[in-house]
Amino acid sequence: SQKIEQNSEALNIQEGKTATLTCNYTNYSPAYLQWYRQDPGRGPVFLLLIRENEKEKRKERLKVTFDTTLKQSLFHITASQPADSATYLCALAGSSASKIIFGSGTRLSIRP
């Protein structure tokens, strides 16, 4: 069955450093991969989308890479800030984008 794995352990980073989160998947060939941010008790908020034919996508301090050979995406936050502390979710979708499945998320804490 399709499976998405994200860092199960919480990630603690010093402010100003780069945070790197990992998303691995199996038994799936997604056409699109997305990253969301979720704060406690709130709905997720979309951050970035990358297509299968794209290697890298950037948005301000965020960078996503997508390696379909390794079946892995890396999500980077540069110059991290305490306000970046949240849970980050990886999501995959097929070519029709009709069914979107999520990983379990990685909790990121940025300490001052």
Partner 1 sequence: DGGITQSPKYLFRKEGQNVTLSCEQNLNHDAMYWYRQDPGQGLRLIYYSQIVNDFQKGDIAEGYSVSREKKESFPLTVTSAQKNPTAFYLCASSIFGRPGELFFGEGSRLTVL
Distance of alpha carbon 72 from alpha carbon 91, whole angstroms: 12
x-or-dash string of contact with partner 1, 19-58, rule CB under 8 A = ------------xx-x-x----xxxxxx--x-x-------
CB of residue 44 vs partner 1: minimum separation in angstroms?
Answer: 5
- If one counts every other C-beta atom within 10 angstroms of the C-beta of residue 87, the result is 18
Which phi and psi (to 5°) does residue 67 adopt?
Answer: -115, 100
Establish if 105 lies at the interface with partner 1 (CB under 8 A).
Answer: yes
Residue from the set 11, 13, 74, 93 that interacts with partner 1 by CB under 8 A = 93
Query: CA separation (Å) from 45 to 56, 58, 99, 112?
Result: 20, 17, 18, 24
Q: Which spans of this chain sit near partner 1 (rule: CB under 8 A)?
A: 4, 6, 31-32, 34, 36, 41-46, 49, 51, 89, 91, 93, 96-105
